């Protein structure tokens, strides 16, 4: 695909309008078409020629694309009806339609056909036994048709064709790949529906903007009555009085072109020096003016002046929307101001103080150091800065509303940064405080731990002392007594009361049989954890 | 209905580059209807004769075969008294890749090689099988009688 050579597609809205137009008159083509066919059939009877001359056939062939185009909407070109500039290579011809391939496909037997032609040929064949139209080779419907080599498509794309509307005057001749774009989008000779809602006759795209041209007029020169849309062709080609002499140079030319000739071409017509826009008063026949132009400094400068003028106009045109934009922005800003400080909207002299400032005087620099316009907000209508404020004498009055707004904006920004720094300072202070507190709590915990440890040692000492006494007191049952003091709190209490229950100790003694020290340490460790 | 481009092209080519011994001219009032003449092939009983045929291209040509009929009386086992032709490419073996030119060449070839095993005119085919020389002689006489220009 030679996409590089294709024209840039136009914006979507153009396509959209086209398509909507085509859908709006979907019912239109039928009656038009049938009548057209009748006309062409009758013309086919009339035109005839001796055998050997292709004239009747050529005529009929040439009218067929025209007839297709006579529908209201643009339809894509049929590649089988195209008029090729050169006779195409016979290798590019489809054997079914005898035209250069349109979207060719390949069969396994290396025969090529247009996709549509092959489909039509296969329609006539029973299902399941499709064959190649050329060699009758059986076709595998699952695999075939196959794609064709790219080079074939490119050769076809490069064939030069005429626009299908060439009979209506379209001079377009280009590669076939560009045809669809041209016909669907660009061709000015394509027939579309008449712009008048009650008129159903087709009109060329190029005449569409002129309104409905399907009314009778009479030619000014020969007084023949004809349709308005045919008038120009008539005056250009058929009217017997279509020629007229130029009043200045007496050249014979088309009446239609006479004005253009006098204005732009005629050497004898009187014209002004091109420098007239800068003040040259010279005026003479065109030939003489041409000579004068070489000498006239104003004529030399005229193009530059014209450029300058155009540039100034452009800039002025650009200036206009900018002014409007500034107005809109100002309004928006004043609205924002009113929303932020509604108390200020009606009272122009009331100074609004910063609430943050009044609440935390310590966190910020002292109030007199702050720039004064910060908290004095203007009302919605932006009058000149009021002078009756207690602080306003330190600030010059605003020379314009925008300046005022800018200052206001800057001061608000300063304020915001001050608030931000105050916040961060506060945050630092709080975190420092928390850290100090933490430190203290930690130390206290250490102290408590140490105290607990001391108590544990004392308890241990007491316990071992008690045990020692008991062992010495009753040596016969020493093992059982040690077992009796195994449970931490129970034994502690019993030692404090000083009356151990022998029965309970004897019951536990044989069941446990473990060294008592380990048990004690276990229970102490649990206490420390707490 | 508009005349398909293919028919126009075929006609133009038939006019511009005619096949030797064959002519096909469309009617002026119906470009799908052709007056055809075929010269009898050499070394056949039809040599020297000029046979007239009519050819009509149906609406869905080239997807369906053209309709062809002999107008000149001919003594041939594959052509009946009404001029209808028994030829496979005109019926089941038609292909859209064939064209007027090739079909007329096939008919000319059929004149040169009669096929009595696939007859249309049974009496002629019978005669052809039983007494080929006599049949050929009859064909020659018919050619002399009906197909002389």
Minimal CA–CA distance to A66: which of A173, A163, A164, A161?
A164
Four-residue CA torsion sign, B54, B56, A81, A40: positive
A447-459: pLDDT as tens digits: 999 999 999 999 9
**Domain co-membership, A329 together with A260:** no
**Domain co-membership, A322 together with A399:** yes
Q: Which of A57, A95, A121 sits opposite B63 (nearest CB)?
A: A121
Phi/psi class of residue B48: alpha, beta or left (left: φ > 0; alpha: ψ in -120 to 50)? left
> Is the Cβ of B113 closer than 8 Å to some Cβ of chain A?
no
**Which H or E run includes B36?**
strand B33-39
Are the beta carbons of B5 and A57 separated by less than 8 Å?
A: no
A96-118: pLDDT as tens digits: 888 899 889 998 888 999 998 88
Average predicted confidence (pLDDT) for chain B = 90
DSSP character string of A477-490: THHHHHHHT-SHHH
Instruction: Report yes or no on A388 lying in a domain.
Output: yes
Contacts of A495 (CB under 8 A, 6+ apart): A462, A463, A466, A485
Active site residues of B: 86
Domain span at A347 = 314-404
**Domain co-membership, A201 together with A234:** no
Q: Which of A57, A64, A95 sits opposite B2 (nearest CB)?
A: A64
Domain span at B99 = 5-147
Minimal CA–CA distance to A134: which of A154, A117, A150, A111?
A111
**Domain co-membership, A206 together with A348:** no
Tokens of B64: 């369906």
Q: Are the C-beta atoms of B98 and B135 separated by less than 8 Å?
A: no
Residue found by looking up tokens 């072109």 in the block: A257
Instruction: Report yes or no on A521 lying in a domain.
Output: no
> Is the Cβ of B91 closer than 8 Å to some Cβ of chain A?
no
Q: Could you say which of A233, A268, A303 is where a domain stops?
A: A268
What is the per-residue pLDDT for A314? 94
- Most B CBs within 10 Å: which of A34, A67, A133, as the mutation test of the B interface? A133
Pairwise CA distance, residues A125 & A118, whole Å: 11
Q: Are the C-beta atoms of A484 and A477 separated by less than 8 Å?
A: no
What's the total number of domains in chain A?
A: 3
**Domain co-membership, A205 together with A230:** no
Pairwise CA distance, residues A386 & A397, whole Å: 8
Nearest CA in chain B to A65: B2
Average predicted confidence (pLDDT) for chain A = 71
What are the residue ranges in chain B where pLDDT is below 70?
1
**Chain A residues with CB-CB distance to B15 below 8 A:** 51-54
**Domain co-membership, A52 together with A201:** yes
Separation of CA A255 from chain center:
52
> Is the Cβ of B63 closer than 8 Å to some Cβ of chain A?
yes
Q: Which of A40, A54, A98 sits opposite B6 (nearest CB)?
A: A98
Pairwise CA distance, residues B78 & B84, whole Å: 8
Q: Could you say which of A376, A404, A432 is where a domain stops?
A: A404
Are the beta carbons of B63 and A123 separated by less than 8 Å?
A: yes
A285-318: pLDDT as tens digits: 888 888 888 888 888 888 888 899 999 999 999 9
Residue A11 scores a pLDDT above 80: no
Contacts of B61 (CB under 8 A, 6+ apart): B4, B7, B32
Residue A478 scores a pLDDT above 70: no
Instruction: Report yes or no on A466 lying in a domain.
Output: no
> Is the Cβ of B20 closer than 8 Å to some Cβ of chain A?
no
pTM as predicted: 0.47
Instruction: Report yes or no on A126 lying in a domain.
Output: no
B43-72: pLDDT as tens digits: 889 988 999 999 999 998 888 999 999 999
> Is the Cβ of A115 closer than 8 Å to some Cβ of chain B?
no
Separation of CA A244 from chain center:
57
**Chain B residues with CB-CB distance to A51 below 8 A:** 15, 25
A138-154: pLDDT as tens digits: 888 788 788 899 999 99
Instruction: Report yes or no on A400 lying in a domain.
Output: yes
**Domain co-membership, A16 together with A59:** yes
From the number of C-beta atoms within 10 Å of its C-beta (0-12, 13-18, 19+), residue A3 rates as exposed
What's the total number of domains in chain B?
A: 1
Within A341-400, where are the H helices? 355-359
Are the beta carbons of A96 and B62 separated by less than 8 Å?
A: yes
What is the per-residue pLDDT for A165? 84
Tokens of A527: 């206490």
DSSP character string of A39-68: HHHHHHHH----TT--HHHHHHHHHHHHHH
Pairwise CA distance, residues A123 & A468, whole Å: 119
Are the beta carbons of A54 and B3 separated by less than 8 Å?
A: no
Residue A162 scores a pLDDT above 50: yes
Pairwise CA distance, residues A374 & A395, whole Å: 11
> Is the Cβ of B17 closer than 8 Å to some Cβ of chain A?
no
Residue A433 CB-half CA count within 13 A: 6
Q: Could you say which of A404, A431, A455 is where a domain stops?
A: A404
Pairwise CA distance, residues B87 & B75, whole Å: 16
Query: What is the value of ipTM here, to two decimals?
Result: 0.82
**Which H or E run includes A464?**
helix A401-473
Pairwise CA distance, residues A474 & A450, whole Å: 36
Instruction: Report yes or no on A94 lying in a domain.
Output: no
Identify the CATH number of the domain in which residue B111 sits.
3.10.110.10
**Domain co-membership, A323 together with A397:** yes
Q: Which of B3, B16, B96 sits opposite A96 (nearest CB)?
A: B96
- Most B CBs within 10 Å: which of A96, A101, A129, as the mutation test of the B interface? A96
What is the per-residue pLDDT for A423? 94
Pairwise CA distance, residues A93 & A101, whole Å: 6
Q: Are the C-beta atoms of A67 and A36 separated by less than 8 Å?
A: yes
Instruction: Report yes or no on A235 lying in a domain.
Output: yes
> Is the Cβ of A61 closer than 8 Å to some Cβ of chain B?
yes
- Closest-CA distance, A144 to chain B, in angstroms, reads 18
Pairwise CA distance, residues A490 & A483, whole Å: 12
Lowest mean pLDDT among A20-24, A373-377, A426-430, B69-73: A20-24
**Domain co-membership, A30 together with A45:** yes
Instruction: Report yes or no on A132 lying in a domain.
Output: no
Are the beta carbons of A54 and B12 separated by less than 8 Å?
A: yes
Separation of CA A300 from chain center:
47
What is the per-residue pLDDT for A330? 93
Are the beta carbons of B96 and A52 separated by less than 8 Å?
A: no
Is A250 or A163 the better-scoring residue by pLDDT? A163
- Closest-CA distance, B53 to chain A, in angstroms, reads 17
Residue found by looking up tokens 């089988």 in the block: A80
The three-class DSSP label of residue B51 is strand
Pairwise CA distance, residues A174 & A161, whole Å: 6
Q: Are the C-beta atoms of A270 and A284 separated by less than 8 Å?
A: yes
> Is the Cβ of A479 closer than 8 Å to some Cβ of chain B?
no
């Amino acid at each position: 695909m030679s996409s590089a050579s294709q024209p840039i597609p136009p914006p979507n809205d153009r396509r959209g309008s086209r398509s909507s137009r085509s859908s709006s008159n979907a019912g239109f083509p039928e009656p038009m078409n049938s009548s057209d066919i009748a006309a062409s059939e009758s013309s086919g009877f009339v035109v005839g020629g001796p055998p050997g001359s292709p004239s009747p056939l050529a005529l009929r062939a040439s009218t067929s694309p025209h007839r297709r185009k006579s529908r209201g909407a643009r339809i894509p070109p049929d590649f089988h009806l195209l008029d090729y500039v050169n006779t195409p290579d016979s290798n590019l011809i489809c054997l079914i339609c005898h035209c250069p391939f349109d979207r060719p496909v390949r069969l396994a037997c290396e025969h090529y056909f247009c996709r549509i032609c092959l489909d039509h040929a296969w329609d006539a064949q029973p299902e399941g036994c499709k064959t190649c139209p050329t060699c009758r080779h059986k076709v595998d419907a699952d695999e075939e048709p196959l794609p064709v080599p790219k080079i074939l498509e490119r050769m076809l794309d490069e064939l030069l064709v005429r626009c299908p509307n060439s009979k209506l005057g379209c001079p377009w001749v280009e590669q076939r790949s560009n045809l669809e774009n041209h016909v669907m989008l660009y061709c000015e000779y394509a027939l579309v529906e008449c712009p008048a809602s009650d008129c159903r006759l087709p009109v060329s795209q190029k005449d569409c903007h002129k309104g409905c041209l399907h009314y009778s007029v009479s030619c000014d020169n020969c007084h023949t009555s004809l349709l308005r849309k045919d008038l120009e062709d008539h005056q250009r080609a058929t009217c017997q009085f279509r020629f007229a002499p130029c009043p200045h140079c007496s050249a014979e030319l088309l009446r239609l072109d006479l004005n253009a000739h006098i204005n732009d071409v005629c050497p004898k017509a009187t014209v002004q020096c091109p420098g007239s826009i800068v003040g040259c008063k010279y005026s003479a026949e065109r030939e003489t003016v041409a000579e004068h132009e070489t000498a006239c400094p104003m004529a030399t400068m005229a193009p530059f002046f014209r450029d300058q003028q155009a540039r100034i106009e452009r800039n002025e045109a650009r200036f206009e929307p900018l002014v409007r934009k500034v107005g809109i922005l100002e309004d928006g800003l004043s609205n924002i101001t009113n929303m932020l400080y509604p108390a200020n909207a009606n009272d122009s002299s009331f100074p609004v103080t910063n609430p943050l400032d009044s609440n935390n005087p310590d966190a910020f620099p002292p109030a007199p150091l702050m720039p004064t316009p910060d908290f004095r907000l203007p009302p919605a209508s932006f009058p000149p800065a009021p002078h009756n404020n207690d602080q306003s004498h330190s600030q010059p009055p605003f020379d314009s509303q925008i300046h005022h707004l800018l200052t206001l904006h800057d001061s608000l920004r300063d304020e915001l940064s001050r608030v931000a720094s105050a916040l961060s300072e506060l945050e630092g202070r709080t975190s420092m405080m928390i850290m100090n507190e933490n430190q203290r709590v930690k130390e206290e915990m250490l102290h408590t731990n140490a105290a607990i440890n001391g108590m544990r040692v004392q308890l241990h000492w007491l316990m071992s002392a008690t045990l020692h006494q008991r062992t010495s007191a009753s040596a016969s049952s020493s093992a059982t007594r040690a077992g009796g003091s195994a449970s931490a709190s129970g034994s502690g209490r019993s030692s404090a009361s000083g009356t151990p229950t022998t029965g309970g100790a004897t019951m536990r003694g044989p069941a446990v049989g473990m060294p008592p020290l380990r048990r004690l340490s276990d229970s102490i460790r649990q206490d420390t954890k707490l | 209905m508009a005349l398909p481009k293919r028919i126009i092209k075929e006609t133009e080519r038939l006019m511009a580059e005619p096949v030797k011994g064959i002519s096909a001219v469309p009617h002026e009032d119906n470009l799908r209807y052709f007056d055809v003449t075929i010269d009898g092939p050499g070394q056949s009983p039809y040599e020297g004769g000029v046979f007239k045929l009519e050819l009509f291209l149906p609406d869905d040509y080239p997807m369906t075969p053209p309709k062809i009929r002999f107008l000149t009386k001919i003594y041939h086992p594959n052509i009946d008294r009404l001029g209808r032709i028994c030829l496979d490419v005109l019926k089941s073996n038609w292909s859209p890749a064939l064209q007027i030119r090739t079909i007329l060449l096939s008919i000319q070839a059929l004149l040169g090689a009669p096929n009595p095993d696939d007859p249309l005119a049974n009496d002629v085919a019978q005669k052809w099988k039983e007494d080929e020389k006599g049949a050929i002689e009859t064909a020659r006489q018919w050619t002399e009688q009906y197909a002389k220009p």
